[in-house]
Amino acid sequence: MKESWIYRHGANLEHKGVRYWLCRLCHEKRSYSTALYASSGTAHAARHLLRQHQIAEFGDSSPSLTTPFTLAAASASSSVRPLSRQASLGFQLGSHFDERSWKARFVDWIILEDVTFRQASSERLRWLIANGGELASQLLPEHHTTVCSWIRLTFESRRQIIFNLVKDAKSSVHLSFDLWTASNGFHYIGIVGHFVDSEGEKRDVLLGLPRLVGPHSGENMASYVKEVINQYEMGSKLGYFMLDNAESNDTCLETLARWFPMDVSRRRLRCIGHIINLVVRAVIFGSNVSKFEAELRGATDEFSFEIWAKKGAVGRLHNLATYIRRTDQRRQALRRLQTELAGDDAIFTLEIVVDGKTRWNSIYVMIKRGMRICLSLTSVEHLLTWDRLILALELRSAIELYQSRWQKPKNDPVHRDLTKDFLSAVDWAELERFHDFLKPFYILTKTMEGNASKPGAEGGHGAVWETLKTMDYLFVKFKQAAEETQFEEPSHFKSGIDCGWAKLEDYYIKTDRTPIYRAALALHPSYGYDYFERHWKNAMDRPQWYSDMQSAVGSLFDEYVRQAELIWEEVNPLIAYTTKEGQGS
C-alpha cells in the first residue's frame, strides 16, 4: 500500500494505542499546539499543510508566473510552494464556506489594521479577491519588506514608462510642485508634470515625491526639483511652473534658473485657488494677516480669545463656537436647545462648526452654520438631500437662547466671561453680509480645485484661461461692495472689502508679468479679444489694461514664431541655408 504524501512532511507516531501524525515544520518551529493530529485519516493533516505551510500534494506542478509580484516574492527567502491547479481547486470546492466567520475576520482586519471603509469596499480590493485565482494565497506577502520590494520593482518599471512619455512629448513639460507632510512627520515635495504626449493626449503625471531633508527654503527645494528634472532629462523641455504664492517658490525658481536658463517672471504661474484664499483672508482679517497669525501662535488660551474678539462679529462667533465645542456637556446643551426650539418637528440637530483657525473657507462654513436656516421645504426626503438643513433647526436661535441662559460658574473665578463674545443683532447682520459676500468665493474655490483634464470637463475647472476670468468676476463683486459701503460708518466688513480689493489688485499686477494668462483667454474661441474689450476696457474702465494685453499677447506670439522658425531650420538645414543666401544677395 502506497504511503500518503503527508508523511513526507511529518512523522507517524503512536501513544497508548492511538496513532498520531506530527508535523515536522511545526515541530521544528516549536509550535507544538498545532503540530499533532490524530491519524485516523489524512484529511486533517493535508488541510493543515495547505493552510499553515502552503504545501499541497502536487505542489511542484504549477507553472511559474512572470509578473513583478512573483519576481519580488521569489527574491524573498520563503519556503512557500505554489499550489497545483488540482489541489487548489480541490481545496476550494471541497471546503465549506462559513459566511459568518469570513465576515467576522474581514471586520477584524478592518479594525485591527485601521483600514478605512472606502478602502475595504474599493473596486480594486474586490477585483483582487474575485480575480486572484488559485495562486492568490501564494502571492500574499508575509512581511512588510516584501511589500516594499514589490513597490520598488513596480515603481522602477513604471518610471521608465513615464520617462519615455516625457521624452516623446509634443509639448513643453510644465511643472507644479508643493510640500506635503506625512502622518509620520516627514516632509516631501510632490512634483507633477503636465504635457501633451506623442499621441496628442494631455497628461498629468507624478514625476517624483522625494523626501525633503533640511529647511523649507527655496534653495533647498530647488535642489530636489533639479534632481527630478535631470532624472527625466527634460531640462530643455521645461515650460511653465504652477505654484502657490509663497516667496520660497519665487526663490526656488530663481535658483533653478541658474541651471536651466529661463525668464522666471514669465514662466511663473500662480494657483488661482491660493489667490482667492489670500484675498478673502484679507477681507476677514485685515491687511496684516501674518501678524495676526503670529500673535495667535504665541498666545495663551485666554489671550487667544481676546485676539479673536478684536476681529468683530467673526471673531466673537469663533470664540462662541470654540467655547461650546470644547466640552461634550456644552455641545449637548446646544443640541437640547435646538430640540426645544424645534418642538415636535425635530428630526436631528446640528453641531456648531468651529473654524480651522485662519483658514477662511472653514470660517465661511462656521458663519453659514451659525446663520438662521430659512428653507422652504416640503418633505423629509428633500430635507435629507439638501445638506440636512431644515426649517425647524435654527442654529442662530439656539445660539441666542444659549447666550440668554448662560451663567458663569460660581466656583471657577478664572472662567472666561462669555458675555464678551455674545452676538448682538448688529453682529448677526454683519455675519450675514460676510456670508453673502463670501459665498461666490467659496463656490469658485471649489470649482477651481477641479481637474481640467477630467473627461467631460476638459479645459475647465482650473484651466489657465479661467484665472483672469475668475479674477474679473471677483473684481466686479468688490467694486459693487465698495460702492454699497462707501458712505457707511466704519466696520469690519467695510474695511475688509478695502483690504481684499487691494490684495486682488496686487495679484492683477503679478499676473501681468506672465503673458500666458492673457494669451490663454485671448485664444479661447468663445472669448478672444472681445472679452477684454467688453470687460477691461468698458465694464471695468481699465483701457490701459486692454492696451497692455494687446502688446503682451502680440509679443508672446512673436516669441513662438521665432521658436518655430528655429525648429524648422534644424529640421531643414539645407533649405534654410539656401533661403538665407537668397535673402542676402
The structural domains of the chain, with segments of one domain joined by +, span 174-270, 278-443, 514-585
> Would the pLDDT of 372 be above 60?
no
Give per-residue pLDDT as tens, 319-344: 888 888 888 999 898 888 878 877 65
Query: Is residue 360 a contact partner of residue 280, using CB atoms and an 8 Å limit?
Result: yes
| pLDDT > 90? residue 449 | no
Residue 32, classified by CB atoms within 10 Å of its CB into exposed (0-12), middle (13-18) or buried (19+), is exposed
End-to-end CA gap in the chain: 105
Q: Give the burial string for 342-367 (b: 16+ CB within 10 Å, else e).
A: beeeeeebbebbbbeeeebbebbbbb
Coil vs helix vs strand at 473: helix
Give the pLDDT band (50/70/90) at residue 387: very low
Q: Give the mean model confidence (pLDDT) for residues 198-215.
A: 94
For residues 289, 295, 299 and 303, what is the CA-based torsion angle, rounded to 10 degrees? -80
361: nearest Cα among 434, 467, 450: 434
Which of 154-158, 292-296, 504-508 is the most confident on average?
Answer: 504-508
Instruction: List phi, psi (to 5°) of 349.
Output: -120, 160
Neighbours of 228 (CB within 10 A): 18
pTM, 2 dp: 0.68
pLDDT at 390 over 60: no
Distance CA 380, CA 225 (A): 54
Question: How much helix, strand and coil, in percent to the nearest 5, is found in the chain?
Answer: 60, 10, 30
Tens of pLDDT, residue by residue over 36-85, are 776 667 777 887 887 777 787 655 433 333 333 333 344 333 434 444 43
The whole-number pLDDT of residue 84 equals 43
483 SS3 class: helix
Could you give the 3-state DSSP secondary structure of residue 385? coil
User: What is the rounded CA–CA span in Å between residue 447 and residue 471?
Assistant: 13
CB of 266 closer than 8 Å to CB of 514: yes
pLDDT greater than 70 at residue 231: yes
Query: Cα(423)–Cα(421) distance, rounded to whole angstroms?
Result: 6
Q: What pLDDT is attached to residue 279? A: 92
The rounded Cα 478 to chain-centroid distance in angstroms is 30
Q: Which of 133-142, 196-205, 234-243, 322-331 has the lowest mean pLDDT?
A: 133-142
- Residue 227 · residue 210 · CB < 8 Å: yes
Residue 453 near residue 204 (C-beta atoms within 8 A):
yes
**Cβ 565 vs Cβ 571: under 8 Å:** no
Count of CB atoms within 10 A of residue 50's CB? 20
Q: Name the pLDDT band for 354 (thresholds 50, 70, 90).
A: low
Cβ–Cβ under 8 Å, residues 242 and 452: no
Contacts by residues 33-39 (CB-CB < 8 Å, ≥ 24 positions apart): 39/12
- The residue whose grid cell reads 500534494 is 57
Q: Which residue has the higher pLDDT, 118 or 129?
A: 118
Under 8 Å CB-to-CB from 437, ≥6 apart: which residues?
283, 477, 481, 493, 497
Tell me what the mean pLDDT of segment 162-181 comes to. Answer: 95
User: Which DSSP letter does residue 487 get?
Assistant: T
d(CA 142, CA 129): 17
531 by DSSP, 3-state: which?
A: helix
Q: Could you report the per-residue pLDDT of 17-26, keeping only the tens digit for each?
A: 777 888 888 8
Neighbours of 437 (CB within 10 A): 21
How many C-beta neighbours within 10 Å does residue 245 have? 16
Greatest mean pLDDT among 11-15, 106-110, 326-330, 481-485 lies in: 481-485
